[in-house]
């Protein structure tokens, strides 16, 4: 799964990673990150046996809970569809 942030984050990226790792405990974890002039991204490794809808729900819950609505979007690893937080 890829998570993109289209602007500067209002929270520390490490906090986002920690919250995601906690929410995905047992089914996934943040495996990479990067940032640049136009935003940042996180790569998340997900257990292929995990329920896709549950994974998406957990990730969106974290992003919304951290106040990243309208700033973050995710792309599950099974396609090219982007889902806005």
Rounded distance between C-alpha atoms, residue 30 and residue 40, angstroms: 13
Query: Cβ contacts of residue 37 below 8 Å, gap of 6+?
Result: none
Average pLDDT over residues 50-60: 96
> Any idea where the domains of the chain sit in the sequence?
2-84
Average pLDDT of the chain is 93
Lowest mean pLDDT across 28-32, 59-63, 78-82: 78-82
pLDDT digits (tens, 9 = 90+) for 22-52: 999 999 999 999 887 778 999 999 999 999 9
The pLDDT value given to residue 7: 87
d(CA 25, CA 59): 12
Q: What's the rounded mean pLDDT across residues 2-25?
A: 94
CATH of domain 2-84: 3.30.70
């Amino acid at each position: 799964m890829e998570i993109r942030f289209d602007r500067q984050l209002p929270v520390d990226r490490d906090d986002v990673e920690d919250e995601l790792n906690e929410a995905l405990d047992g089914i996934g974890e943040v495996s990479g990150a990067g940032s640049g002039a136009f935003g940042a991204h996180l790569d998340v490794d997900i257990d292929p046996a995990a329920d896709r809808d549950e994974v998406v729900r957990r990730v969106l819950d974290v992003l919304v809970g951290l106040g990243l609505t309208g700033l973050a979007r995710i792309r599950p690893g099974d396609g090219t569809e982007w889902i806005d937080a």
